[in-house]
Chains A and B, each alone.
Chain A
């Protein structure tokens, strides 16, 4: 460096020295985290890739594994029919609940945002599901509620008993598949509301980051609330919505109520680590492909149109 005879003033030199020092400190701050990532993230992930091509045995000395090639994948796709069935049901439930969670959390966010009396109270109320349901409590509740005597009570009370959704849907004369889908969704509305907690929080944060100026202009131009929503709120929320979709998908595919995850954990409990890993990898690779398609779509189409 000194040979280059740069015309830098002493001040700038010192500045650069400070920068270098600060850079070193930055690395120092994330050093523990990097070691942790290596030990508890990267190594396990790479190992789990290997496990999906292997068979594992836990012996007295530790773990013995031997490579079996693509046998695990072959078995689960062609020999054992459970996996493909569960894969299909996991994907169909993903596609079924994703749009509803999006809509419900959007409605909640729009309702909760803004200035009105009791705002903090309602926000606190609506965040309750995040506190209570992000784990076992909800799945045990559902299990107790659906497999036992209370089933009829829960579903009837949740749809309020006042409105007979099924009758309305029949009156609309929809194709039976759509009708079944809608009635299932409406009957599980409490579940959907309970699953949209964090998404609502994200969307509220997104709503608050939209500059007021845009709405003021729209008002001057005489736009209705409806137009405001479609031409300002929705386009401005697009980035947040992408985040919400990604978050929801990750949440749904990793929850222990997911059919494929459940099957894989059964394999783990039966000490079949290899095939369990293979099942999860295959499933998550498919989900990953879907997410990247979504991302491409967003980049190509939406960002150009509104970005």
Chain B
């Protein structure tokens, strides 16, 4: 592009410019490939190590492609993670709430982005606050709070006056994840709402105004106009929400008393599980292999989903413009 617009230069000048351009491009690819190697390295390393049999692990002459392949570590990892049961738990507990959150956060964000009402700035302040305050600060008191759910002590007062305890105890039930997600305050919902707000604020108003003129109320406009034209941001939010829920460990280990762990908690406890099951060999060469095999099980599904959605996701992130 620039070549055509610039003044016709002499031959030598042209060649010089061309060679600088080519060098810069070669340098970019060189760097991209090197850093790409750094990014992919752990993954390749894990796959290679997890497939190596005991003999191959000790054989230093074969660094990457193992001479003796084995599926043994994968089958041990599969058992230690209790894979099928844990996956079911993850799907019903975390992924379901992740998908619910994609919707409930859109509702809240639409309210923030499109309407001016009293108390909006106060609500906005708390939204930013929820972005800044680390969850680990209050996740413990949140899990204690689940035992006696109450709105500023009204129900507690009611209990004292009438003796009827209406305070819900949702501790140790799936509602510890479902209820916050339904209300749009689940795992990292602040970030999701923020992304939605940035997008809705940039959405042209004309369509919505036309809908109002045609007699559609705000609710109908939201469902029929705003939501269908937000597929770009919905891809971003869905991927982020699913990933964050998939990896969530703090709340899911604090809020349940059972050993019926979701995958993330099973993953976090893998060392203890291996020890209990007698696969712990101290610093023996196979311990990392088993651990790597279980990490591969853990990341497998998000990885495959990401590879399928990758193109759409990258484009959508480009267009959403998270920074604002």
The answer to whether B140 and A273 touch across the interface, beta carbons within 8 angstroms, is yes
Report if A157 contacts B (CB, 8 A): yes
| Among candidates A30, A108, A208, residue contacting B35 with C-beta atoms closer than 8 Å | A108
B34 nearest in chain A by CB position: A160
| Among candidates B25, B119, B249, residue contacting A135 with C-beta atoms closer than 8 Å | B249
Query: Please, what's the 1-or-0 string for A220-240, where 1 marks a CB less than 8 Å from any CB in chain B?
Result: 000000000000000000011
The answer to whether B140 and A157 touch across the interface, beta carbons within 8 angstroms, is no
Which of these binds chain A: B8-16, B82-90, B266-274? B266-274
A19 to B121, CA, bound (A): 17
Grouping DSSP codes into helix (H, G, I), strand (E, B) and loop, the B interface class, with mixed when no group exceeds half, is helix
Report if B114 contacts A (CB, 8 A): yes
Report if B23 contacts A (CB, 8 A): no
A183 to B132, CA, bound (A): 32
A26 to B38, CA, bound (A): 47
In B103-148, which residues have CB < 8 Å from any A CB?
Answer: 104, 107-108, 110-112, 114-120, 123, 126, 130-138, 140-142, 144-145, 147-148
Q: A44-B141, A150-B288 are in contact. Are A23 and B117 (CB under 8 A)?
A: yes
Q: A140-B291, A144-B288 are in contact. Are A33 and B147 (CB under 8 A)?
A: no
Report if A24 contacts B (CB, 8 A): yes
Q: A39-B151, A47-B145 are in contact. Are A126 and B110 (CB under 8 A)?
A: no
In A18-58, which residues have CB < 8 Å from any B CB?
Answer: 18-19, 22-30, 32-45, 47-48, 51, 56
| Among candidates B135, B182, B313, residue contacting A254 with C-beta atoms closer than 8 Å | B135
- Chain B residues, Cβ within 8 Å of A126: 35-36, 39
Report if B32 contacts A (CB, 8 A): yes
The answer to whether B137 and A45 touch across the interface, beta carbons within 8 angstroms, is yes
A12 to B315, CA, bound (A): 43
The answer to whether B49 and A150 touch across the interface, beta carbons within 8 angstroms, is yes
Report if B161 contacts A (CB, 8 A): no
What band does the interface of chain B fall in when counting residues whose beta carbon is under 8 Å from A? 35 or more
- Chain A residues, Cβ within 8 Å of B135: 254
The answer to whether A62 and B323 touch across the interface, beta carbons within 8 angstroms, is no
A216 to B248, CA, bound (A): 46
- Chain B residues, Cβ within 8 Å of A122: 32, 36
The answer to whether A202 and B323 touch across the interface, beta carbons within 8 angstroms, is yes
- Chain A residues, Cβ within 8 Å of B115: 22-23, 25-27, 29
The interface centre, meaning the residue of B133, B244, B288, B306 with most chain A CB atoms within 10 A of its CB, is B288
Report if A158 contacts B (CB, 8 A): yes
The answer to whether B250 and A131 touch across the interface, beta carbons within 8 angstroms, is no
Report if A100 contacts B (CB, 8 A): no
B6 nearest in chain A by CB position: A219
Q: A36-B185, A131-B302 are in contact. Are A144 and B218 (CB under 8 A)?
A: no
Report if B243 contacts A (CB, 8 A): yes
Report if B157 contacts A (CB, 8 A): no
Q: How far is the CB of B73 from chain A (nearest CB, A)?
A: 12
Report if B71 contacts A (CB, 8 A): no
Grouping DSSP codes into helix (H, G, I), strand (E, B) and loop, the A interface class, with mixed when no group exceeds half, is helix
The interface centre, meaning the residue of A24, A128, A291 with most chain B CB atoms within 10 A of its CB, is A128
- Chain A residues, Cβ within 8 Å of B292: 141, 144
A263 to B266, CA, bound (A): 21
| Among candidates B112, B295, B311, residue contacting A137 with C-beta atoms closer than 8 Å | B295
In B265-324, which residues have CB < 8 Å from any A CB?
Answer: 267-268, 270-271, 283-285, 287-288, 291-292, 295, 298-299, 302-303, 306, 310-311, 313-315, 317-318, 321-323
Query: Please, what's the 1-or-0 string for A262-288, where 1 marks a CB less than 8 Å from any CB in chain B?
Result: 001100100001001100110010000
| Among candidates A35, A38, A202, residue contacting B322 with C-beta atoms closer than 8 Å | A202
Q: How far is the CB of B225 from chain A (nearest CB, A)?
A: 14
13 intermolecular pairs with C-beta atoms under 8 Å apart = A25-B218, A32-B104, A32-B184, A47-B145, A48-B140, A127-B310, A141-B46, A144-B295, A194-B42, A206-B323, A246-B132, A265-B136, A273-B144
Residues of B within 8 A of A (CB): 2, 25, 28-29, 31-32, 35-36, 38-43, 45-46, 49, 104, 107-108, 110-112, 114-120, 123, 126, 130-138, 140-142, 144-145, 147-152, 180, 182-185, 193, 212, 217-219, 222, 243-244, 246-250, 254, 264, 267-268, 270-271, 283-285, 287-288, 291-292, 295, 298-299, 302-303, 306, 310-311, 313-315, 317-318, 321-323
Q: A36-B183, A193-B35, A277-B141 are in contact. List 20 more A-B contacts (CB 8 A).
A: A23-B117, A27-B111, A29-B115, A32-B184, A39-B145, A39-B149, A41-B126, A43-B145, A47-B144, A124-B313, A126-B39, A132-B303, A134-B243, A134-B244, A141-B295, A158-B41, A193-B39, A201-B317, A219-B2, A256-B136
